[in-house]
Structures are given as C-alpha cells and as structure tokens.
Amino acid sequence: MSSLRFPENFLWGAATAAYQIEGAARDDGRGPSIWDTFSRTPGRVHQGHTGDVACDHYHRYAEDVALMAELGLRAYRFSIAWPRIQPDGTGPVNPRGLDFYDRLVDALLARGIDPIVTLYHWDLPQSLGDRGGWTNRDTAEHFATYAAATYGRLGDRVDVWTTLNEPWCSAYLGYGSGVHAPGEQDPAAAFTAVHHLLLGHGLAARALRAAGARTVGITLNPADVRPADGSSAADAAAVRLVDGLHNRIFLDPLLAGGYPEDVLEHVGRIVEPTFVRDGDEKLIAAPIDLLGINYYQPTYVAGRPDGAGGGGAYPGTDGAVEFLPPVGPLTDMGWMVEPAGLTRLLERIATDYPGVPLLITENGAAYPDKPGVDSPGGPSQVLDTDRIAYLEGHLRAAHEAISRGVDLRGYLVWSLLDNFEWAEGYRRRFGIVHVDYLTQRRTPKSSARWYQEVISRNGL
C-alpha cells in the first residue's frame, strides 16, 4: 500500500472517559453518578461490572501519562467527572476533585501533551438524575455552572474545551432504549433530553467564553446513514428520517441556526416540543471552534412498512424503517468495519456545515485480544493485527477526506486503555494498551507500537 503523509501539526492522540477508566468511585469526596446507580442495578451491565475500580487511573495517572509520552501522543482527550467537582451536581465545588485534574493536566503539559477536555461523558451526578436528569431543564443550567467552575481552575492551562460527548447516546440510549443510564424507555423523554443537552451545551459554551475560553466545541457521533438500495425511493426516505433523528437534530441547531422542520414535525407526533423556548435556538447556534466526530461504523436502512424500526433509540421509526443487520467482517462489538463511511461522513459534514474545523475525537475497535505468553503480572505481548488493520483503514479514510478538502485537524484513537465499555462491562477491549484488571498492569499492544510509528512519521 502507498505511503501517506498527514498535514503538518496534525494532532495525534488518544481518548478516554472518566467513568470508564478512573475508578476511585468514592475517593476525595466524589458523589455518585447515574452510572454508579445503573451499573449496580441487576441486569443492566454485563455480569454486574461497575466502574468502581476500572483501570484505577485516578491513582495511576502518572504512569499512564508516562506511557502516553512513550507512545509519542501529542494530545490526550479525557473527561472530567462532574460528581467529583460537584458531588451533588449543584452547590459548592469540591476542591479535592479539581485537584486530581490539576495534577493530570500538569503531568500532561510536563510531557508536551495537549489536554483536550470533555466536560460531560455521561456520568451525571445522581442527585440531578433524581430530579429528572436531562429531562429537567434545570440540569442544563447546572451544567453551565459546573463548566465555569472547572474552567476557573484549569482554564489557564487547558486550551481545548468540549462540552458534551455524544448527546445522541445520552438522550436516546439513556431515555429511549434504556440501554444506558438512567435506563428509561420513554420516547418523549428522549426528545426532551436531546433539547436540554443542546441547551446545556449552549449555556456552557457561553459561560466558557465569558470566562475567556478560546477553543470551545462539542463531540457528536454522527451516523453515515446509507440506503440498502441506492435506487429505491422508499430507502431514500428512510435515510432522510434516520438522518434527521440522528444527525440533523444535533447538527442543524448547532451549525445551521435551528431545528429542521421535518424533524420537528416528527418529534411533534410523539411530544409537543414546548421544551424549546424562545431564545434557545439562538443560544445553541452560537459559533463553535471545533466539532468532534466519533465514528465506528455505518448505518444501513431500508424503507419498509413492516420494518421493525430502531426501537427506543429511534423513536417513531417502527413500521417505517428497517435497520439492516451489520455484515462482516465485524468487530467484537458486532460492529461493521467500513472505513469508507468515515470519508463520506467527514465530507458530508464539511459540505453541509462548512466552516467548522473537525477533529476525530474517537475511532477504534474492540477485538477479543489474545495475550501472548502470560507472566504472573500480565501478558508479555498482545498481537492485535485486526485492530491495526482497522486503524490503518480508517486513517487512510481520514486522509482521503483531507485530500478532498476537509478541514480535519487530528485523530484520537479510542481508546488508550482497555476499559469499562458501558453496558458491555469489561468484556470488550478497545485499548491500544492492554489492561490486566487483576494486577492493573498495562501492556502496550502491537497496535500501540504501530501507532507510535505512525505518529513519529506523521503518516503511514
């Protein structure tokens, strides 16, 4: 295969999220989050796994940062646990919670690694969950207060601030399908949550800017929605509907001034959108400096009157849309491997929503890694050629988008470490670094060494 070079200053890095790696669930005044509650609820998470210990990153961050430096990472995207900063979600900040991120940021900067902050990666303080979570408009206001407090402590050293990670998951999986915390199955709640999440983004972005932040953004997981049959009008209509519910419901208010008519009409059949108040859309549409894109696989749909629809994750699609089962080769999540979907998605966003720089904030794959010779402390090597192939294919796809003119600023692999994969618990391994959960020993997989090489060459 041909060799490829990425633009100068292309940002190479890795991503993680607080609840998935930190552990230390009760340390230094951290309050409970909706994920603590959800993971303790029987039947919600594979084998009752929780984030109580996870990768123990809270105590091992220095070792982990040293590993990042060894791999040559230029950027590290991590999330801040709101329940560490405000254990009850409101009220006085807990300085010991902020101290942890203070230490982490200093450790990163000392190694020349740019910190990229995500303010919300799904771990809502439980006491806000008790008051309706994202279905309660007040949560959006509280989020802005938390964002400002966090900026106040870290803003002098952190340049890149993103508000939410994948509000699609928070809203539709949290309140629609119930696969994620808080585990509700209520289509009206899902749409209400979509709006309050976007409002929370808008309020937090405004607060961050007022405090002096220069680079403010948000991370979405837009879908590359494809028709089963490119010549079918019914399939094209299904694409339009699913694209509206998954993509345009977020992208249009953020980047095109407001919700699209067809989406509001669809939502209106499920719930009267009175939660959208005067001024909300203007606030949400305030310019951002960066759009984070998480991409894993494409979505194929067909328009069929007897289609099963997407269940709670796509309210109102039953009896109209069929979601096609993924076809091989599949990852350990059962997700399709289709790098071309990333090129299409990046190009589409750059075309339909021009002017905002893009950053791939997550891309990667779970595979049932088979560690090599086991030693008492953990495996000595992990030969993950399938992950290397996945990453290489997607980097080529990202490069293709750049060569077609997309303003793509960097690539962050998901994930640095094997970690708590939400409802799947620890059974899915996404890391380029293997974690032995018994000993907490970290072993860079072959993909980590391969990635190190990619970074040092700035290409493939």
| 294 part of the interface to ligand FCB, by CB under 6 A | yes
Asked whether the beta carbons of 157 and 109 are under 8 A apart, the reply is yes
Q: Measured from the CB atom, is 199 or 417 closer to ligand FCB? A: 417
CB 230, min distance to ligand FCB, A: 28
Give the HSE-up count for residue 28: Cα atoms under 13 Å, Cβ half-sphere: 19
Beta strand 215-220 pairing with 160-165 = parallel
Inter-CA distances, 255 with 232, 250, 352, Å: 30, 8, 9
Q: Which residues pair with 319 in a beta bridge?
A: none
Stretch that binds ligand FCB, among 162-170, 298-306, 316-324, 452-460 (CB under 6 A): 162-170
Closest CA to 406 of 356, 353, 346, 344: 346
**Site membership for ligand FCB, residue 169 (CB under 6 A):** yes
Q: How far is the CB of 297 from ligand FCB (least distance, A)?
A: 11
Q: Does residue 37 interact with ligand FCB by CB under 6 A?
A: no
Among 61, 146, 390, 430, binds ligand FCB (CB under 6 A): 430
Task: State in angstroms the smallest separation of the CB of 173 from ligand FCB.
Answer: 9
Catalytic residue flag (residue 22): no
418 sits near ligand FCB (criterion: CB under 6 A):
no
Q: Which is nearer to ligand FCB, 221 or 343 (CB)?
A: 221
Of 445, 307, 361, give the one whose Cα is nearest residue 165. Answer: 361
Which listed residue (165, 177, 192, 299) binds ligand FCB by CB under 6 A? 165
Q: Which of 11, 17, 358, 402 binds ligand FCB (CB under 6 A)?
A: 17
Q: DSSP secondary-structure letter at 432?
A: S
- Size of site (CB under 6 A) for ligand FCB: 12
d(CA 57, CA 332): 24
Q: How far is the CB of 205 from ligand FCB (least distance, A)?
A: 20
Verify binding: residue 421, ligand FCB, rule CB under 6 A: yes
d(CA 58, CA 424): 22
Q: Nearest Cα to 154, choosing from 219, 201, 198, 107?
A: 107
Question: H or E segment at 66?
Answer: helix 57-71
166 binds ligand FCB (CB under 6 A): yes
Q: Would you call 281 a catalytic residue per the annotation?
A: no
Distance CA 58, CA 75 (A): 19
Encoded one letter per residue, x for contact with ligand FCB by CB under 6 A and - for no contact, window 182-221 reads ---------------------------------------x
The CA radius of gyration of the chain, in Å to the nearest whole number, is: 21
Of 163-171, 305-313, 369-377, 394-402: span binding ligand FCB (CB under 6 A)? 163-171
Dihedral of the alpha carbons of 21, 386, 457, 165, in degrees to the nearest 10: -40
Q: Tell me if residue 316 falls in helix, strand or coil.
A: coil
Closest of 243, 165, 99 to residue 422, by C-alpha: 165
- Residue of the chain from 367, 422, 450, 451 that contacts ligand FCB (CB under 6 A): 422
In the set 22, 184, 362, 421, the catalytic residue is 362
- CA 368 vs CA 326, 391, 453: distances in Å: 18, 16, 23
Contacts of residue 15, defined as CB under 8 A and 6 or more positions apart, other chains included, come to: 76, 77, 78, 116, 361, 362, 412, 413, 414, 415, 416
Q: Which listed range, 137-145, 164-172, 274-282, 304-312, lies at the site for ligand FCB (CB under 6 A)?
A: 164-172
What is the contact mask toward ligand FCB in residues 326 to 365, using x (rule: CB under 6 A)? ------------------------------------x---
- 291 lies in the site for ligand FCB, by CB under 6 A: no
The number of angstroms, rounded, from the C-alpha of 421 to the middle of its chain's C-alpha atoms is: 12
The residue (of 386 and 421) whose beta carbon lies closer to ligand FCB is 421
Instruction: Please report whether residue 395 would count as binding ligand FCB according to CB under 6 A.
Output: no
Q: Nearer to ligand FCB by C-beta: 423 or 460?
A: 423
Residues recognised as catalytic: 166, 362
The residues of the shown chain that bind ligand FCB, judged by CB under 6 A, are 17, 20, 165-166, 169, 221, 294, 362, 414, 421-422, 430
